[in-house]
């Protein structure tokens, strides 16, 4: 299993947000379903573009993949900082 810290942090934050919301079973289930659909769509869109896209799409996706590999620590750090800022902002709003 390939667990990435960025994805784990995002999943935990979503779980805490959904779990702490005052939702009934249907509302919580719907929130989990929407979160899962959005999370899957980010990967599925790229895979579908690669498989079914024209030949001009593949070089762009490969360049993007190379860029992500070269800048993975920057992407990870930026994602965690933005997620942390979002969680702090939500916490401050809930304190008021």
pLDDT digits (tens, 9 = 90+) for 40-53: 888 888 888 888 88
Distance between start and end Cα atoms, the chain: 40
Between these two residues, 90 and 68, which has the higher pLDDT value? 68
Mean pLDDT of the chain, nearest integer: 86
State the Cα–Cα distance between residues 57 and 80, nearest whole angstrom: 29
**pLDDT at residue 1, rounded to an integer:** 57
What is the per-residue pLDDT for 74?
93
Helix, coil or strand: residue 7: helix
Cα distance between residue 36 and residue 58, in whole Å: 26
Query: What pLDDT is attached to residue 63?
Result: 92
pTM here is 0.58
What's the whole-number mean pLDDT along residues 55-63?
A: 87
Distance CA 37, CA 48 (A): 15
């Amino acid at each position: 299993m390939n667990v990435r810290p960025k994805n784990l942090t995002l999943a935990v934050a979503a779980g805490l947000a959904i779990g702490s919301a005052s939702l009934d079973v249907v509302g919580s289930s719907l929130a989990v379903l929407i979160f899962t659909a959005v999370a899957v769509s980010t990967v599925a869109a790229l895979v579908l573009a690669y498989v079914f896209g024209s030949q001009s799409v593949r070089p762009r996706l490969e360049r993007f993949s190379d860029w992500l590999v070269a800048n993975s620590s920057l992407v990870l750090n930026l994602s965690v900082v933005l997620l942390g800022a979002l969680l702090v902002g939500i916490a401050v709003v809930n304190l008021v």
